[in-house]
């Protein structure tokens, strides 16, 4: 802090003066104003603006700039050494992100004190809205929480294009508002959500669809390794000779607590799905992500080129049609998440659920060479049993 450096300098000068000119008697006058000496623990109680920032009028979406600001700091004990401070001396300000027409003031922060200054923010002339990337998660089980991670919205204004517009609202066709964490409490395999941006009284929208399914779901990374298997809760295991090679990702909170990050040849994922009732012809859907890159995009990966699937404790092999693929979806926008976790549905068969546990085994049988001649296998997030 500037006031602390002044304190050190003052102390040094006082001490130096005493070494040169003082005898054993105290000087008759040390200071004419003891309260003006900076001390540790001084509290800033006001900022006196001597020159306002150059820019106080903004368009919606711009960020506040303190350039040109000059101010003096006022302290509780009367210390007045911090004068002629500039924008670079601030500790920060709020709001620090894109401004909206609702922002009327900015709070300048300095040594624990906040000083409000008035600004004006004018809405921009909106010309159109487009979703350039849909969210990573598009498939949900009834009761799941909505996750909008990966959603990228482009808003076109008369003043220019915002490639990552944040001031949008998500609603369904009934007007219900959806945000991250909204409980999906109605099964709808084609729930259309509308993303709208409003500026100067004009509203433009684009939409995407998600599926909310009745059924059961088991996360691939919910792996039981210690043999203490649940008695009434779905779980997964991996083959013992592969333990230590898989990687449980707990930092990618997309549809569960993570995903299987390393799928290698011969890895076996055993899904144990617990059901309270018997259900005929339930659909088997693997939620996975292509990792095969080529021609500037993610390539589709055939299920049969990567996996074999088996049903029940007797390991009855499923005959999966060659048309079943894990779609190679768009790359994410820069800074919007991992290209390896753009989850897609791969429906590969049906199962007659019995009451209790039902086993589905997925075995990685091969890798696929990408454009760089690197062997790839899909990432796996979960298995859905849809009714």
- Read off the CATH number of the domain in which 295 is found: 2.60.120.260
Same domain, 243 and 369: yes
Cα gap 362→110, rounded to integer Å: 58
Mean pLDDT, each 10-residue run in order, the chain (387 residues):
43 39 36 43 89 94 93 89 93 92 94 95 93 88 88 92 92 96 92 95 95 89 82 87 52 50 85 94 93 83 96 95 90 60 90 95 93 89 90
| pLDDT on residue 256 | 45
| pLDDT on residue 334 | 53
| pLDDT on residue 324 | 97
Same domain, 137 and 285: no
Same domain, 228 and 358: yes
Establish if 358 belongs to a structural domain: yes
Establish if 17 belongs to a structural domain: no
| pLDDT on residue 259 | 73
Which DSSP symbol is given to 329? P
Backbone angles phi, psi at 341, to 5 degrees: -130, 40
Burial of 331 per CB tally in 10 Å (0-12, 13-18, 19+): middle
Same domain, 261 and 277: yes
Same domain, 97 and 143: no
Here the tokens at position 244 are 């230590």
Same domain, 199 and 235: no
Domain boundary among 183, 213, 243: 213
Same domain, 244 and 370: yes
Establish if 21 belongs to a structural domain: no
Establish if 151 belongs to a structural domain: yes
Same domain, 259 and 324: yes
Domain boundary among 158, 178, 213: 213
Number of domains in the chain: 3
| pLDDT on residue 98 | 87
| pLDDT on residue 101 | 84
| pLDDT on residue 10 | 41
Q: Do 154 and 92 contact (CB within 8 A), yes or no?
A: no
Domain boundary among 213, 231, 266: 213
Domain span holding position 167: 126-213
Q: Which residues contact 378 (CB under 8 A, 6 or more apart)?
A: 263, 288, 289, 290, 291, 301, 306, 307, 326
Establish if 320 belongs to a structural domain: yes
Whether residue 95 is preceded by a cis peptide bond, meaning omega within 30 degrees of 0, is yes
Cα gap 130→134, rounded to integer Å: 10
Q: Which residues contact 126 (CB under 8 A, 6 or more apart)?
A: 155, 156, 157, 197, 198, 199, 200, 202, 203, 204
| pLDDT on residue 8 | 40
Instruction: Compute how many other C-beta atoms are within 10 angstroms of the C-beta atom of residue 243.
Output: 11
Establish if 51 belongs to a structural domain: yes
Same domain, 226 and 366: yes
Instruction: Compute how many other C-beta atoms are within 10 angstroms of the C-beta atom of residue 119.
Output: 17
- What's this model's pTM, rounded to 2 decimal places? 0.62
- Read off the CATH number of the domain in which 79 is found: 2.60.40.3630
Same domain, 239 and 360: yes
Same domain, 164 and 95: no
| pLDDT on residue 7 | 40
Same domain, 256 and 231: yes
């Amino acid at each position: 802090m500037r006031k602390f450096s002044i304190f050190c300098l003052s102390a040094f000068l006082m001490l130096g003066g005493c070494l040169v000119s003082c005898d054993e008697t105290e000087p008759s006058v040390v200071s004419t104003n003891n309260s003006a000496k900076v001390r540790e623990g001084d509290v800033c109680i006001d900022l006196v603006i001597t020159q306002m920032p150059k820019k106080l009028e903004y368009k919606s979406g711009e960020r506040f700039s303190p350039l040109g600001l000059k101010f003096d700091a006022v302290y509780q004990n009367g210390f007045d050494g911090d004068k002629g401070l500039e924008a670079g001396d601030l500790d920060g300000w709020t709001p620090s992100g894109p401004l909206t027409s609702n922002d009327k003031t900015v709070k300048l922060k300095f040594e624990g004190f906040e000083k409000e200054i008035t600004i004006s923010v004018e809405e921009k002339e909106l010309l159109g809205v487009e979703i350039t990337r849909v969210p990573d998660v598009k498939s949900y089980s009834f009761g799941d929480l909505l996750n909008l991670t990966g959603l990228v919205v482009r808003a076109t204004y008369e003043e220019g294009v915002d490639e990552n517009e944040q001031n949008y609202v998500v609603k369904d066709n009934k007007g219900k508002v959806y945000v991250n964490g909204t409980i999906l409490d109605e099964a709808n395999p084609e729930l259309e959500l509308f993303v709208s941006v409003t500026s100067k009284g004009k509203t433009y929208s684009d939409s995407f669809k998600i599926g909310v399914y009745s059924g059961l779901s088991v996360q691939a990374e919910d792996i039981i390794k210690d043999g203490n298997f649940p008695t009434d809760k779905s779980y997964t295991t991996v083959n013992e000779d592969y333990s230590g090679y898989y990687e449980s990702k707990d930092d990618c909170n997309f549809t569960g607590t993570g995903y299987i990050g390393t799928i290698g040849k011969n890895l076996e994922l055993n899904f144990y799905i617990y059901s309270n009732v018997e259900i005929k012809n339930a659909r088997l859907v693997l939620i996975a992500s292509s990792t095969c890159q080529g021609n500037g995009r993610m390539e589709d990966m055939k299920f049969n080129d990567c996996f074999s699937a088996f049903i029940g404790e007797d390991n009855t092999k499923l005959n999966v049609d060659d048309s079943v693929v894990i779609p190679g979806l768009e790359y994410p926008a820069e800074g919007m998440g991992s290209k390896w976790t753009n989850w897609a549905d791969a429906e590969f068969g049906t199962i007659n659920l019995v009451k209790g546990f039902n086993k589905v085994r997925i075995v990685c049988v091969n890798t696929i060479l990408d454009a760089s001649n690197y062997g790839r296998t899909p990432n796996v997030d979960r298995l859905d049993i849809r009714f």
